[in-house]
Amino acid sequence: MRREAFEEKLSQIRQQQGLTAVSGERVHSLYASLEVKDSEIYCQRARTMYNCPEDVATGLFTFSMEHTKLRALFDPTLLGEENLVRNLKEIDSQRYNASKGTFS
């Protein structure tokens, strides 16, 4: 919603003052600032929703990527060291060093 409002405002400025009214570098900087502000708002809402102290919900990170697909999956069967090692052995048992308890 904030992004759409920003893009609408940018479009209005460009229509009124011309396409070169705002440089590409400035637009890129404004988009980056918008992402930072969005993250701050998210953290603030998370703290409010969970009644957390200020420093709890600040572990967000932002990536800017082009032509990239990213999938983040969570499998509860991988939770905990025992489950993780068991699953890794199933995936690649040849690389598991039982004497050291590590993978090569």
Q: Give the domain ranges of the chain.
A: 1-65, 73-104
* Mean pLDDT within 81-87: 81
65 sits in which H/E element: none
Higher pLDDT residue, 15 or 96?
A: 15
Residue linked to tokens 């900087």:
29
How do residues 24-67 score in pLDDT, each as one tens digit?
788 888 888 888 888 888 888 877 777 766 555 455 566 677 88
pLDDT at 42: 84
Q: Do 96 and 103 contact (CB within 8 A), yes or no?
A: yes
Question: Residue 48: phi, psi to the nearest 5?
Answer: -65, -45
* Mean pLDDT within 12-28: 79
pLDDT at 8 over 60: yes
Please state whether the predicted TM-score (pTM) of the whole model is above 0.85: no
Q: Do 88 and 96 contact (CB within 8 A), yes or no?
A: yes
* Mean pLDDT within 78-99: 77
* Mean pLDDT within 12-32: 80
pLDDT at 17: 81
